[in-house]
Amino acid sequence: MVKTVRVQVPPSASNLIEAAKEASKKAYAPYSNNKVGASVLTENNKIYTGSNIENASYSLTICAERTAIFNAVLDGQRKIDILVVYDEKTIYPCGACLQVLSEFSDNPLIILADKKGVVFYRLKDLLPKPFTHFSKT
């Protein structure tokens, strides 16, 4: 059973959440009409944002979480400490985004934010066993 993890919200969290909310306005979502924003905080306290970008061929759509992570990685970052996802109603990151997050983090905080508030998780709450090339039970 997944429990909400109660943590001390880092001082930067309110900025991060605001950044994710702002990023949602940049979404390109003509097919689903659901605009999602995301932001990440890296280990050296830099913030990067992303939003979903859809495609006529649905399979080539990319989620907000991944565009935010990609932006961090493109800037040379390799370690993400916090991921924020913002939507009008709380949504969970899809499995693909969680897998990508696992490539660049240990057990980051995940903050799901919507109009009414936030919920906290750790990556291991949502994808405890990501695929790795040498995973062992």
Output 11 or 33, the one with its CB closest to its own copies. 33
Torsion of CA 92, 95, 101, 102, to 10 degrees: 130
Rounded Cα gap, residues 132 and 137, in angstroms: 11
- Which residue of 34, 43, 81, 122 would you call a contact of its own copies, by CB under 8 A? 34
Which parts of 68-107 interact with its own copies (CB under 8 A)? 70-71, 73-76, 78, 89-100, 102-103
Rounded Cα gap, residues 81 and 105, in angstroms: 7
Check if 65 is active-site: yes
Cα 2–Cα 102–Cα 74 angle in degrees, nearest 5:
140
Per CB under 8 A, 132 contacts its own copies: yes
Contact status, residue 37 vs residue 64, Cβ threshold 8 Å: yes
Active-site entry in 18, 22, 65, 88: 65
Per CB under 8 A, 15 contacts its own copies: no
Q: Shortest distance, CB of residue 14 to its own copies, whole angstroms? A: 19
Q: How many CB atoms lie within 10 A of CB 46?
A: 12
Where do contacts with its own copies occur on this chain (CB under 8 A)? Answer: 1-2, 4, 23, 26, 28, 31-32, 34, 49-51, 53-63, 66-67, 70-71, 73-76, 78, 89-100, 102-103, 112, 119, 121, 125-137
